[in-house]
Structures are given as C-alpha cells and as structure tokens.
Structure 1
Amino acid sequence: MNKSDNWKRKFYIVAAGQAISMLGSSGVQFALIWWLAEKTASPLIMGLSGFVAFLPMAILSPFAGVAADRYNRKFISIMSDMTMGIIAMVFAVLLLFMELPVWAVIFMLGARGAGTAFQQPAIQSIIPQLVPKEYLVKTNGFMQLLNSGSFLIGPVIGAALYAAFPMSVVLLSDVIGAALASIALAVVKIPKLERKIEEQHFIEELKVGFHVFLEDKKLFYIVMAQALCMFFIGPMAAFYPLMTSDYFNLSAWYGSAVEFAYAFGMIIISLMFATALKIKHKIRTSFTALIILAFVSILCGIIPPTITGWCLFAVLCVLLGAMENVHMIPLTAYIQETVVPEKMGRVFSAMTLVSSVTMPLGLLIGSPIAEKTGIAIWFLISGICMLVLIGIVLVLYIKSTK
C-alpha cells in the first residue's frame, strides 16, 4: 500500500466513525428538541435549552483547546464520545422507570454540549495530522458532507423513532453511534505530534490561541463577523422547531422536512467542495456566505404562516444550510493551512469559545423578544442586524488590509 492510500484509508475510517456518531446524535438531538417544543411551545424554554447546550462549550472550550494541544487528541475524542454515549444510556434507563421533567432534558442537552466542547477541537486538530496540506479543503468538504448527511437523515430517523418508540429507545441510537465512532478512531494510528514549543502555564497557553487571531488580520475579522452573527443565529437555530410547530402549526414530520431541507443545502455545497470546487480567496468566500445568510434570514421573517409559506421556508432553509458550509469549510481549511499543528487545538477552541459566548447571550436576549413579538419577527430583526454588523466589520477589514 503506497503512502497516499495509507493516509486516505486512515482518514476514511475516522470520517466514517464520526459520521455514524453524528447520525445518532442528530436524530437524538432532533427528538429531544421536538419533545421540548411539543411539551412547552415556549420560546423561553427553547431559548433556555439552547443556552444550557452552549454554556458548557463557552466555559470548557479554553480548557479543551489546551488539552488537545497538550495531551493525546485521539484519547480525548474517544473519551468525549463515550461520555456522551454513557449519559444517553443513563437517561434511557431512567426513562424506563419514570417520566423525566423538562429540566432533566435540558440538563442532558448541557451534558452533550460539554462533551462536544472537548470532542470538536480534538477531532479538528487530528485531521491535519492525517491529511497532507494540499488536500485539506477537499477533506474538510468531505467531513462536512458526512456531517450534512447526518443532519439530513438524522432528523428523519429522529422523527420516525420519536413517533414509533418511547424516548428511551430513541436515546439508544446515540449510544450505538458513540461506540462505533470510538472503535473507528481506536483502530487508526495517529501520527505523533511533536511539540515545537515548551509547555507553558495554562493561562499563557490560552493566550497563544487568541494571539494567532490578533496576528492574522484576515482571521481576526472573519471570526469577529462570525461571532456577531452567532448572536442572532443561535436563537434562530433554537426557534426552528417552533417555526414549524407554532408559527406554521404543523407536525413533527414537517419539522423534520425543514431539517432535511437545511441539511440538503449543506450536502450540495459539501459535495462540491469535496469533489471539484476550488476556492482561491477563502476569507472572502466566508464573508460572502455570511452576507447571504443575513438576506435569507430577512426573507424567512416576512413569509406568511400558510402551507405555501412553509414551502418557501423549507426552500430558504436549503440556502441557509448551503451558506453555513460555504462559510465554514473555507474558514476551517484556512486555519488548518496557516496555523502550526501544535497551536491548532487552542485556535479551534478559541474560535468555538467566541461563538459559544455570543450564542448564549443571543438566546438570553432573543428569547424574551421572540416571546413578545413572535418567532418570524426575530428572523427579520436578526437578518437586518447581521447585515449592518457584517458591513461594519467589512469596512474595518478593508481598512486594515490596505
């Protein structure tokens, strides 16, 4: 087996395991969120669930990034997956004996967020250790393709399981996915990471991740724009089920169809990146995607609450999903290409930290506003605010690069 086939084989094994895990997680996440939407029909509760899900990421991301650079990334990723699987199993067993209150489901979403905080920077940092630099855009496109596929199929599986079985059975799909992902990663030998810098005090190591952004103006401004947008995108993501169940007054199957449409848009773009699409100006492309996201959000906020309006909403969700990947794939590849391997975990965790702080803040502010004004109005307000803020960041970015 030649060297090219060797790295590809390792990458595909890891990617397949992650895809199975994401498929189980996506189905369970949809079922949990839809359960909350049906039980409460409250933007405040949906916002609180999103806040609790992202708060652990905001708190733990700095520690996760340092851990990914100091310690064994493979071990961290496996332990994160297995911990989330064990939590799902515990809740599945509890559900056999009792009806869990709303707060217990929200707690589970928070526990899953904690696991994700450690898993994401570890697995994102492992990929460049396996893949040659010239293939990073394609492999990131492929990873996002698998990720999008899980979002495409996951909600359908989640809706089917939710309709046919009790929640305890639904949760088992997350357990199976976590186990298979861990096995796939365990059998792959990850090249040893040689640290070229001395181990520093924890606070100093945290600063390293943020210094990378300060030194690279392109990266600094695109992450600033992303963080500002996440302030509004966070609540919108939490309110997706309510757009279907409350605004359009439709069932879980229509909710899964919206998730399907969103993931379909992600898949189309991921497939293009994974096969033929080449991006020369990665940061410029990432900025453009955020601008389109803002325009689409405005359109989502003005459609009527009719079945025709829902069909248009589903089409717009295709665009939203597509633009998310047009933003993230070039940005991730840019970081993997330009940041030295021994700093990469902290850079990814710093980026996660920025988004994870702004999203809960958006949920805290956006939830009561949506409770008063309605879900659709929040989409409209969000789109307008994102356009203004991206415009300001772009002006600062252009001035700094002259």
Structure 2
Amino acid sequence: MKKIQKWKSQFIIVALGQAVSMLGSHGVQFALIWWLAEKTSSPFMLGISGLVAYLPMSLFSPIAGIAADRYNRKFISIFSDMAMGITALIYAVLLYFFDLPVWTVCIMLCVRGIGSTFQQPAIQSIIPQLVPKDQLIKTNGWMQLLSSGSFLIGPVIGAVLYSLFPMSIVLMSDVAGAILASIALAIVKIPKLEKTENEEQHFVAEIKEGLQVFKEDKRLFYIVAAEALCMFFYAPLSSFYPLMTSDYFQLSAMHGSAVELSFAVGMMVASLLFSSVLKVERKIRVSFIGLFGMGSTSLICGVIPPTYVGWFFFAASCICLGASGNVHTIPLTAYIQETVAPEKMGRAFSVLTLISSVTMPIGLLFSSPIAEQVGVNVWFFISGLCMILLTSLVFIRYSVKTEASEKRYNEEKTN
C-alpha cells in the first residue's frame, strides 16, 4: 500500500509542476501571438513565427531523443525548463528598456522551441519510470487533463495580463512557471534507468534504432504515418487561430481567449473521461478516430459564416477539436509507453516530436501564402477535407494489414 501511495504522490508532484509551467507558457504564448496578430494582421507573419518556433525541433529532435535515453532525464527536463524561463526573463528586460521590433520575438520563440524539443521526450519518458504499466492510460489522461486545464486558464490569464500590462510584465508568468516546475521535479526521486550494452553506440545507429521501433510495430507505423500526413495540414492551424477571431470574425482578444478556452474545455472533457471511466483496449483504433474527428471539425470550422452568431458555432466546434486531439494523443502515448522498451522510449517520443516539428514548418510554408490570398477560414476547410481523406485511406490499409496478420496468427496457432 505504501508503495502504491508513493508512486501516486511522486506522479502528482511531477504532473502539477508541469501543469504550472504549461500555465505560464500558454498564457505567454497567447499574448505573444495576439500581439503579433494585432501588430501585423498577416497570416504570413504568424506563419513565420510558427516556422521559427518549430524549425529547431526538426533539427534537434533526434539528438533530444538520444539524450533522453542516454543521460539523466530529470536533469534534461529541469535544464530545458529553466533555459526557456531565463530566455523569457532576458527578453522581458530588453523589452522593458528598449522598443524592440516585432520580429525579435522570433528569436525568443526559436530558443523556446529548442528547449521544448529536449524537454518533451525527457518528461514523457520519465512518466513510465514512475507509474505501473496498467495505470498508464489513466495517468496519461490525468496529465492531459492538467495540460488541458493549463490550456484552458492560460489564454484567459494571458488575455487579462495583455490588456492590463505591457508585454515585458506578461512574460514574467513564464519565468515563474519554469521555476516552480523545476523545483517540483527536483524533489521527486526518479528510479534509475538500467543501462544496456549498446548505450555507447554511434549516433546514427541510435537514430536508426529509434526508427526501427516504428518499423517493427506495424500498428504503430500506420497511426504515426497517418499523423504525419495529417499534421502537414493541421499543424498550421494553431498559428492561424488568432486571425480567425481578429480578422475573420472581427472580434477582440477576449473573444480570442474564449476560443482557446473552448478548445481547452474539449481537451479537459476527453482527458477526464480517459482518466476515470473509459477503458481502452484497441488504443490504435481509438487514436485513428481522434484523427478523423480533428479533420471533420476543422472542415466544419471552415464553412462557418463570419457573423457574431457564427463565432459561437466556431467556439463550439473548437470544443470538439480539442476533444478529438486528446482522443488521438492519449491512447497513442499510452500504447508507446506500454510497448516500447524503456531504453528506447526517448527516441520513440522524439520521432513523434520530429513529425510535428517537420510538418509544421513545411505546412506553414505551403499554407501561409494560400491563407494570405484566400483567407484562414478556407485553409481550415482545406485542411479538414485532406485530413478526412488521408486518415480514411491509411485506416483502410491498416485494417486490411492487421486483419491479415491476425488471420495468419490464428492459423499458425491452430496448426
């Protein structure tokens, strides 16, 4: 009983610390994006800001995964969090004393992108070291619930702070979040990861070994392939969200924060269900359903008329969009944590980070000029339609292959 209570208390400390950090990050992220949207009113400029934030992930994800598997995950997570906090502090001080041009925010976003690249696979790999395998769906549900709560409250805090204080003051909430998250993780004792004989193998060999995880598990390969194809269309939407409210619906920052809040409500509802009542057996199939839901909702957002009443439908659609995202992510994360060897887990998660970080800049380079010409609402429609088609095609292929594999297994078992 004491052992059970111990892992729960350790997990809660880590989860709450990460939630506080995300709370500050989401608030600052909302304020920065809204600041850019108000000053530039350009999908292209917002696309560039997203590009510089995600490009470092494309470059450093393989290194981050290997680092999470080879070195101290706790240290990597704390160092990354504090590096992002210090960057926000430096930019806040400079912004307070100097009238910096808008483009300088791209430098800070780039540094934050590097920090996040190293922090994500490290913290995701720490969780299965603390939590029993049979509790991973629930604990991932709780992690996503806290993340959703931060996503829910963060933009509201960001909008309030942005309306009351200069950006230099708003940035300090990110600094406070990084400090508290680092303290929380520092006091938790993480079980030592056993080293393997291959720990000193060549860098390229380690990257190939991480990719081999997905090649060997066909179920995992198909869902990750579907995610990669869909993220090319879906990832740019996060950069265009503020323009849907400010330009398409012609509404204020508070309305923008309400949209973010709606998205977070959907995430929280899905997270709460996974962490309490839902018991998922076929995790990969459920993850496919989440991708399909993301595409369907994006398509709906693209056809909503630019009226005040239409904005309420847009906000309601964002609830479904947030829920669908977690329906895709939570089962996929739990499946990886259950099936992938602990010493390879950092690299497995870094591949997922690499997918989003590669598809985001490529998608932005492709979508930004289109959105500039035809409007961000049209890109919502295009992305939704493409996601539905791609998810359906990959799922059909997945179903055929898995059914054939199960049939062969049953025949061999019978013989």
TM range (shorter): over 0.9
1:195 aligns with 195
Q: What letter matches 1:121 in structure 2?
A: P
- For residues 335 and 355 of structure 2, the distance between their equivalents in structure 1, rounded to whole angstroms, comes to 18
2:281 alignment partner, SS class: coil
- For residues 355 and 398 of structure 1, the distance between their equivalents in structure 2, rounded to whole angstroms, comes to 24
- For residues 285 and 114 of structure 1, the distance between their equivalents in structure 2, rounded to whole angstroms, comes to 31
Name segments (4+ residues, structure 1) moved above 3 Å.
none
2:121 aligns with 121
- Residues 64-95 of structure 1, C-alpha deviation per residue, up to 9 Å, x if partnerless? 00000000000000000000000000011001
Which residues of structure 2 form unaligned runs of 5+?
A: 405-415
Q: Does 1:284 align with 2:285?
A: yes
Q: What letter matches 1:241 in structure 2?
A: P
Matches within 5 A, 1:170-189: 170-189=170-189
1:34 touches 1:252 (CA, 8 Å); kept in 2?
yes
2:364 aligns with 363
1:50 touches 1:234 (CA, 8 Å); kept in 2?
no
1:208 aligns with 209
Q: Does 1:398 align with 2:406?
A: no
Matches within 5 A, 1:122-271: 122-199=122-199, 200-271=201-272
1:23 touches 1:150 (CA, 8 Å); kept in 2?
yes
- For residues 100 and 155 of structure 1, the distance between their equivalents in structure 2, rounded to whole angstroms, comes to 23
Deviates more, 1:189-198 or 1:54-63: 189-198
- For residues 138 and 117 of structure 1, the distance between their equivalents in structure 2, rounded to whole angstroms, comes to 25
Shift of 1:195: 2.1
2:213 touches 2:348 (CA, 8 Å); kept in 1?
yes
Q: Does 1:46 align with 2:46?
A: yes
- For residues 277 and 296 of structure 2, the distance between their equivalents in structure 1, rounded to whole angstroms, comes to 27
1:82 touches 1:179 (CA, 8 Å); kept in 2?
yes
2:388 aligns with 387
- For residues 238 and 87 of structure 2, the distance between their equivalents in structure 1, rounded to whole angstroms, comes to 24
- Residues 283-316 of structure 1, C-alpha deviation per residue, up to 9 Å, x if partnerless? 0000011111111111111110000110000000
Shift of 1:220: 0.5
Q: Does 1:346 align with 2:347?
A: yes
Which residues of structure 1 form unaligned runs of 5+?
A: none
2:235 alignment partner, SS class: helix
- For residues 268 and 325 of structure 2, the distance between their equivalents in structure 1, rounded to whole angstroms, comes to 11
2:411 aligns with none
1:266 touches 1:324 (CA, 8 Å); kept in 2?
yes
Q: TM-score, normalised by structure 1?
A: 0.99
- For residues 178 and 114 of structure 1, the distance between their equivalents in structure 2, rounded to whole angstroms, comes to 15
- Residues 152-186 of structure 1, C-alpha deviation per residue, up to 9 Å, x if partnerless? 00000000000000111100000000000000000
2:236 alignment partner, SS class: helix
Matches within 5 A, 1:17-28: 17-28=17-28
Q: What letter matches 1:17 in structure 2?
A: G
- For residues 197 and 400 of structure 1, the distance between their equivalents in structure 2, rounded to whole angstroms, comes to 34
- For residues 101 and 8 of structure 2, the distance between their equivalents in structure 1, rounded to whole angstroms, comes to 46
2:246 alignment partner, SS class: helix
- For residues 241 and 377 of structure 1, the distance between their equivalents in structure 2, rounded to whole angstroms, comes to 15
Deviates more, 1:228-237 or 1:26-35: 228-237
- For residues 109 and 135 of structure 2, the distance between their equivalents in structure 1, rounded to whole angstroms, comes to 34
- Residues 315-365 of structure 1, C-alpha deviation per residue, up to 9 Å, x if partnerless? 000000000000000000000000010000000001111221111100000
Deviates more, 1:230-239 or 1:255-264: 230-239
Shift of 1:381: 0.8
2:409 aligns with none
Q: What letter matches 1:235 in structure 2?
A: P
1:141 touches 1:271 (CA, 8 Å); kept in 2?
yes
Q: What letter matches 1:338 in structure 2?
A: T
2:148 touches 2:267 (CA, 8 Å); kept in 1?
yes
1:304 alignment partner, SS class: coil
Q: CA RMSD in A?
A: 0.8
1:303 alignment partner, SS class: coil
1:333 aligns with 334
Q: Does 1:372 align with 2:373?
A: yes
2:279 alignment partner, SS class: coil
1:302 aligns with 303
Deviates more, 1:347-356 or 1:173-182: 347-356
- For residues 324 and 32 of structure 2, the distance between their equivalents in structure 1, rounded to whole angstroms, comes to 26
Give the paired residue count.
402
2:192 alignment partner, SS class: coil
Q: What letter matches 2:281 in structure 1?
A: K
- For residues 275 and 393 of structure 2, the distance between their equivalents in structure 1, rounded to whole angstroms, comes to 32
- For residues 283 and 185 of structure 2, the distance between their equivalents in structure 1, rounded to whole angstroms, comes to 29
Shift of 1:391: 1.9
Shift of 1:396: 2.1
- Residues 356-375 of structure 1, C-alpha deviation per residue, up to 9 Å, x if partnerless? 11111000000000001111
- For residues 196 and 97 of structure 2, the distance between their equivalents in structure 1, rounded to whole angstroms, comes to 53
Matches within 5 A, 1:45-84: 45-84=45-84
Q: Does 1:31 align with 2:31?
A: yes
- For residues 195 and 399 of structure 1, the distance between their equivalents in structure 2, rounded to whole angstroms, comes to 39
1:111 alignment partner, SS class: helix
- For residues 319 and 391 of structure 1, the distance between their equivalents in structure 2, rounded to whole angstroms, comes to 19
2:156 touches 2:261 (CA, 8 Å); kept in 1?
yes
Shift of 1:395: 2.5
Q: What letter matches 1:25 in structure 2?
A: S
2:140 alignment partner, SS class: helix
Deviates more, 1:227-236 or 1:312-321: 227-236
Q: What letter matches 1:214 in structure 2?
A: K
